Structure 1
Amino acid sequence: MALQVLTVDDLEKFRVQLLTDIENLLNTKQPKKWLKTQDVMELLGISEITLQNLRNRGQIPFRKLGGTCYYSAEEIDDYLTKSKYTSL
């Protein structure tokens, strides 16, 4: 087994690389789990009335909290997958 010697310079390079990696992880934007009405309208390219109709027909599930509608990004993705071959 070969013996490797670490120098102070090696440790400094490791420290800098580790800090850079941690900073990159912290700055990575996580996708939203919950979308508001405006987000869904932009994503689907539809009006507020059309979105209301989709909610009323139960085609797009939502949760209401304090008068604001929230949509699960995963459920919106499922809706897009299901409606891929049909029109809104």
Structure 2
Amino acid sequence: MASFDFITKEDLEMLRVQLMNDFRKLIEPKKKILKEWIKGNEVRKILSISPGSLQNLRINGLLNPKKIGGTWYYRTEEIEALFEK
């Protein structure tokens, strides 16, 4: 004889709450940035992107960094603005 598992309204509500919490974690910034300018490797860690993706953000004008001695520095307020878009 086969056994059946029934899904209740409470099960669906628990799933909905869990999914909403997971979505909130995905769209929230990874961490609050305290410095005014940060290096490219820090930006990549915060945004979880590759060097090529960071370069695309520069090329497309979404970020306007300054290059000092071969190192790119990015304004933290521009990084945080990406999360709002």
Same fold (TM over 0.5): yes
Q: Which runs of 4+ in 1 moved over 2 A?
A: none
Gaps of 5+ in 2: 1-32
Distance in 2 (alpha carbons) for counterparts of 1:35 and 1:53? 18
Give RMSD over aligned pairs.
Answer: 1.5
Q: CA deviation at 1:54?
A: 1.0
Gaps of 5+ in 1: 1-29, 83-88
Indicate the SS of the match to 1:39.
helix
1:77 aligns with 2:62: no
Q: Give 1:66's aligned residue.
A: 69
Q: How does 1:15-54 map to 2 (within 5 A)?
A: 31-54=34-57
Distance in 1 (alpha carbons) for counterparts of 2:62 and 2:34? 23
User: How many residue pairs are counted as aligned between the two chains?
Assistant: 53
Distance in 2 (alpha carbons) for counterparts of 1:53 and 1:75? 15
Q: Give 1:56's aligned residue.
A: 59
In the superposition, the TM-score normalised over structure 2's length comes to: 0.57
Identity of aligned residues (%): 43
Larger radius of gyration: 1
